[in-house]
Structure formats: C-alpha cells, structure tokens
Amino acid sequence: MRNPRVGWALLSPTLIILLIFGFAPFIYVLVVGFFDWNVFAAEDGLRFNGLDNFRRLVFDDLFLSSVGLTIRFAVFAIVSEIVLGFVLAQMLTRSFPGKSLFRIIHTFPLMVAPIAVGAIWRLLVIPGFGPVPFFLDRWLGLTYQIGTYPDQALMTSVLMDIWHWTPFVTLTMLAGLSSIPREPVEQAKVDGANRLQVFWYVTLPFLRPVLLTTVFIRIMDAIRTVDEVWMLAGGGPGTRFTGIYIWRVTSPAASADWGYGSSVSLITLYLTIVLCWLLFIAISGRRKGEVE
Amino acid sequence: MANLPPSAPPYQREEEVGARQRLARSDKEPGFLPIYTNAFDRVFISLVILIGIHLLWLRFMEPALPIEVATVISLAIGIYIVRRG
C-alpha cells in the first residue's frame, strides 16, 4: 500500500521553496495593494487606503492603453508562434537533408538573453544605420521608422518575439507530435480521412494538452515582456508602445508608490488568469455536449 | 455513444469512460454554465466575476452608486454560480 507520508516528504522541499519565494511575496503584494506606501511621502510606512489604488488605476489612461497594447502584442505574437511552431514541428517529424543542422540553428534564438535579442533587433532596425530600413526604402520605397510610427514598433516587436520564441513552441509541439500513437492516425487513413480530417479529428485532440501548456507559458511571458521591447524602442514612440510592465517599471507614479505598483501587478495577474482561463475553456474541450 | 469492443486500444477506452463520466455528471448536475465544473471551478469563476464587477463598478458606476452595491451583487451572483452553476 502506498504511504502518503513518503509523497509529502518528497514534495516538501519544493513546497517549502514555493511557499517562501512564491506564495509569501504574493500575499505581501496582495496586502500592499490596499495601502498607500509612497517612498517620497512625508510620513513613513504604510497607510491603509482601501480600494483607492484600484480606483486610481481604472482611470489611468496610460495604464488602460498599455493593457490594450499588451493584449494586441500577445495575440499577434502567440497566434503566429503557434501556427509557425506547428508547421516547423510537422516538418521536423519527417526526414530531409540537413535536418540536424536546421534543428540546431533553429534553436539558437532560445539561447540568447532577451536583452541581447532587443539589442540585435535594434541594430537591425535603427534608422540611418540598420539594414532593414535601408533596404525597405531602397527596394520598396517604404519609410520604416519605429521611433516615429507606433504600428511599426508593434509589428517589429511582434516579429522579434516570434523570432525569439517560435523555437520553444516548435520543441514543445515536436514533443507532442512524437508522443501521438500511430494507430489512430493509420485507422483514420484506412477509413478514408484526408489530411485535414486527420489533423482536425486525430492530431489536434492529441495535441490539446501540449497546446494548452504552450499557450499558457507564452501568454504569461508575453504579458510580462519588458527587456526585449524596452531595448528595441524604449516604450516609444513617446509612450505609445508602452506595455503593462514597461509602464509599471518606468511610470513615476507606479515606481514611487509601492502600493499603487502592487495594485498594477495584481490587476496584471488578474488579466493573465482570466485570459488563461478563457483559453483553457476554449482549448480543453470542457464545454458541455463536446466529447474530447 | 457506441460501445467499444474489448480489443479497442486503452486510450480509446479511457476516452470513452471519460466521456461517459462527464455525460453522467452533467445529467446528475445540470448547471447553467456551458462547461463541466466542480465546486472549486465554480468558486474560482465567482471570484473572477467578483473582481471584474468591482473593477467595472469603480470605473463606470461609482459616482452613482457606492461600491458596496457591487459587493452585494457579485456575492449574490457568486452564490448562485456555486449552487446552480
């Protein structure tokens, strides 16, 4: 008979670390979110102010625009990464010349630190110096200046994120595809299913757990992206490409008032949970009347 | 749902059992939510809705009605979801 004490004993180091470094700071931030704690205030310490931080936050136009921008960035980047990652993973399940080399080169961006990725892309797209604006202007006559046009800054950041994180999605998808048993795929083919039907009715249901995990990880990462985007365009032009966490770090209000900053973190956590939960419902097949 | 033959692969049998359990549960507890839920899910959904209602209330409704009204409304919705969801 299994002894539950052994299980708890084996789990306890991880649980203790999680409790100290994960749960305790969360509770601290949760509490501080309801206090006024400004480092420049005349009086030291925390003063309870109820929902005032959140009241201030829901009327902060810059924060609201940063939320919209972050969601746009996350949607564009994650959808592209999932599609591209799946296609590449499918390709890597087959044999072709130079496959090993391709796999190594393809995984390189994962090894680069986000701040270095931002620096590389900044060098590529900086006006008057980078090759991208030069050739776009020379060959297509397009004006490409991420310091002037916010849409270009957004699209460049999305491209940069795709370049950086698609290999991760490819690897997880490849693991998922490799674990699919051959029998159901062969049965479907024998029953006359075409490629699209095999993908939709066999491959995709088997990939659901992997897909779900990958999307969750990428959503959490995309929402708290700071270093890459900050390095690329500094949250600009002006404040027009300032995501939630860039705003959290750079805004004088949020960085000097720790209570207000904590409320920003809590709202961001709330947004992340809601987005992940909605996606979980959409992807996991828990809807009524639907058989997984 | 067709019964699978004994020779069916294990993963198919597991799916069949899972689907049957979910259908049985939905017959037993016909909640109004469009997804299969347990008590924890319903408490979680209530909490998410409670926070959402309060934030929207702070933004749009507070000049007209105090925040306590939002608390009462969201608690009522929460109890309804936990019991009937």
pLDDT digits (tens, 9 = 90+) for A166-205: 999 999 999 999 999 989 889 999 998 898 999 899 988 8
Kindly state whether residue B66 falls inside one of the protein's structural domains: yes
Kindly state whether residue A63 falls inside one of the protein's structural domains: yes
Cβ atoms < 10 Å from Cβ of A188? 17
Are residues B58 and A270, on separate chains, in Cβ contact within 8 Å?
no
Kindly state whether residue A275 falls inside one of the protein's structural domains: yes
> Considering its fold, how many domains does chain B have in total?
1
The pair of structure tokens assigned to B29 is 């507890």
Kindly state whether residue A17 falls inside one of the protein's structural domains: no
Chain A residues within 8 angstroms (CB to CB) of chain B:
51, 54-55, 58-59, 181, 183-184, 267, 270, 273-274, 277, 281, 286-288, 291-292
* Contact yes or no for A85/A169 (Cβ under 8 A): yes
Predicted ipTM beyond 0.85: no
Kindly state whether residue B26 falls inside one of the protein's structural domains: no
pTM of the model: 0.79
> Considering its fold, how many domains does chain A have in total?
1
Q: Distance between CA atoms of A223 and A176, rounded to whole angstroms?
A: 25
Kindly state whether residue B48 falls inside one of the protein's structural domains: yes
The residue type found at A192 is G
Domain of A230, CATH number, reads 1.10.3720.10
Q: Distance between CA atoms of A219 and A214, rounded to whole angstroms?
A: 9
Q: Distance between CA atoms of A153 and A241, rounded to whole angstroms?
A: 7
Are residues A51 and B48, on separate chains, in Cβ contact within 8 Å?
no
pLDDT digits (tens, 9 = 90+) for A214-261: 999 999 888 888 888 888 877 666 656 666 667 766 676 667 788 888
> Residue A259 phi/psi, 5° resolution?
-65, -45
Q: Distance between CA atoms of A243 and A70, rounded to whole angstroms?
A: 5
Kindly state whether residue B72 falls inside one of the protein's structural domains: yes
Domain with B55 in it: 31-84
The pair of structure tokens assigned to A17 is 């670390």
Are residues A273 and B59, on separate chains, in Cβ contact within 8 Å?
no
The pair of structure tokens assigned to B12 is 């198919």
Whose tokens are 């939630």? That residue is A244
Q: Distance between CA atoms of A41 and A228, rounded to whole angstroms?
A: 33
